[in-house]
Amino acid sequence: MQIRKTHPRTRDREAPIASAWVTSTTIALAWAKPTMIALVWAKPTMIALVWMTLTVLCGDSVSASNPEGSGASGGDPADVRLNEVGIDFGGSGEVLVELTSSADAAVDISGWVIEVFGVPTIVPDGTILTSGDYLVFNAQTAADFPIGEEVVLFDEVLAPPGPGLIAATGATVIDAVSFGTQGGAPVPPPFPGVSLARSPDGAFGPPPLGNDAQFWTIDFSETFGFQNDAPQPQLGSQLLINEIQIGSLTQPDWIELYNPTGADVDVCGWFVTTGFGLDPICGLVPANGVQAFPLESVLFGDALRLDLFGPFEVRVAQKGIAGVIAFNDCHGDCPDGSAPSDGYDYWTSGGDMQWFALPCTIGNLNDFMGKPCATAGIDPDFDPGGSGSDEEPEVVPSSWGNLKRTFR
C-alpha cells in the first residue's frame, strides 16, 4: 500500500519530535511527480470521504492501515529500512527521512531513533509501520553536509537523546546509509526535488549484497510517500573515471573517462554530480582510449568526490580523494582503468594501489610523464613530488577549498 502525504516541510519546525505524515484518501493526488498529477475518483457515492489527512504532532502517530496507531504488530524489525533521504542544503536544519518495510506483519517502531548527522529524532509513540507502507519523517540535524555524512536508524532510545549518545548505549542499528566522502552512496546536488534513494525500493525485500554504492543512488524527482523508481546503479559496467584534475580560480575542474571497450562511446546526455552541483558532458570517448571534459559547477576540490551518470540517469562510476596523504592537483588510475568504480574516498578508490596523486596527464593515457605503470600500480622509483628535479615548481591559482585544506 502506498501512502500519500502532505509535504512535511509545511509543519511547525519547532516541534521537538518527528512527524509521520500519512494520508488515507478516496481521491488520490499524486504529489511527488509533476507528470503524475491526477484526480482518481473511486465512487461518486463516496464524495463525502473526499480527503482525510492524518498529521502527527508532538507524540501522536498513525499508519495508513492502522490510523489510530494501535493494534497487533509482530513483524521482524530487521525488515524495516531507510528508503529515501531528502537533504535541505538551505540551512533549515531539516532532513526528510522515509522508512518502509518488507516484513510479513506490521512493526511497532514507537520510540525508534532516526539519527541524522549525529542528531537524534525520536519516532512518536504508537507509530505502526505495515508492510509496503512509506512513512516520511521530518528529522532534525545541526548543519549542512554537502561533502557527506550518514543517517542511522536505531530500534530504541537507551539514553537521553543527544549527539553521539544513542549508539554508545548499545541500541541496535536497524539500518544506515553513509554518503559522500563517508560512504558509498552519493550526495544529492542541492536542487529542489532531488533526493537520495534506495534502489531497488526497500519494500521489495532485503537489499542486494554489496555496500551502499550498489543500492543507493540519486533520484532527480523525489518520490516521498511513494515507491522509489530511480534506476539501480551499474558501477563499472560502462566507462570508467580515469583521472580528475582540480581546477583553479580561473580554470575549471576536469574529468577524464577511459573506455575499456572496443567501440567508441557517445556520452552526450551523461553528467557528473557532487553535493555542490551538476555538470553535463558531451563528446565521444574512443575505443580503448580516453577523453577529458571540463566541469564548471561541481567544485571537486571542495567535494572530494565525483559521481558519473550515464544514460537514463544510471550511476555508472564514482571516485574520491578524501584522506589522500600527498594532495595533488591530479589523481589518476595506474594502469588506466584499473581502480575500483565504487570508491568514495582515496583509499576505497584504490589509493596507492591503482589510484594515485600524480602529475597531470589529463586527456592522455596515464603514462605519468613517461614513467611506466607497474602491474599493480606505479613504478616504485617514480617520485610524484618531483624532488629529484631541478625545475622550479609551477605556481598556479588555487581554490579556497584547497587553501583551507593546506592548514588543516
Domain that holds residue 139: 8-219
245 and 99 belong to one structural domain: no
Is pLDDT of 140 > 90?
Answer: no
54 and 202 together in one domain: yes
Sign of the C-alpha dihedral computed for residues 230, 235, 238 and 239 taken in this order? positive
Is 227 part of a structural domain of the chain? no
pLDDT digits (tens, 9 = 90+) for 171-207: 789 999 999 999 999 999 989 899 999 999 999 987 7
Q: What digits encode the pLDDT tens for the residues 149-164?
A: 899 999 876 655 555 5
What global pTM score does this model have? Answer: 0.75
Decide if 1 is inside a domain.
Answer: no
- Are 214 and 304 members of one domain? no
Residue 68: per-residue pLDDT: 38
**What integer pLDDT is reported at residue 393 of this predicted model?**
39
Q: Which residue has the higher pLDDT, 150 or 72?
A: 150
**Residue ending a domain, choose from 185, 219, 253:** 219
For the segment 325-346, the average pLDDT, to the nearest whole number, is: 91
Same domain, 212 and 244: no
When pLDDT is averaged across residues 21-34 and rounded to a whole number, the result is: 34
Percentage, residues of the chain above pLDDT 90:
51
Count structural domains, the chain.
2
Q: Which residue has the higher pLDDT, 210 or 364?
A: 364
Residues 168 and 250 in one domain: no
Residue 11, all three cell numbers: 509543519
* Residues 113, 164 within the same domain: yes
Query: What average pLDDT does range 8-15 have in this prediction?
Result: 32
Residues 203, 121 share a domain: yes
Q: Are residues 157 and 67 in the same domain?
A: yes
Q: Which residue has the higher pLDDT, 107 or 369?
A: 107
Secondary structure, 3-state, the chain: CCCECCCHHHCCCCCCCCCEEEEEECEEECCCCHHHCCEEECCHHHHHHCEEEEECCCCCCCECCECCCCCCCCCCHHHEEEEEEEECCCCCCEEEEEEEECCCCCEECCCCEEEECCEEEECCCCCEECCCCEEEEEEECCCCCCCCCEEEEECCCCCCCCCCHHHHCCCCEEEEEEEHHHCCECCCCCCCCCEEEECCCHHHCCCCCCCHHHHEEEECCCCCCCCCCCCCCCCCCCCEEEEEECCCCCCCEEEEEECCCCCCEECCCEEEECCCCEEEECCEECCCCEEEEEECCCCHHHHCEEEEECHHHCEEEEEECCCCCCCCCEEEECCCCCCCCECCCCCCCCECCCEEECCCCCCCCCCCCCCCEECCEECCCCCCCCCCCCCCCCCCCCCHHHHHHHCC
pLDDT on residue 263: 96
For the chain, give the mean pLDDT: 75
Q: Decide if pLDDT at 407 tops 60.
A: no
Q: Given this model, what pLDDT does residue 4 score?
A: 34
Residue 370: per-residue pLDDT: 63
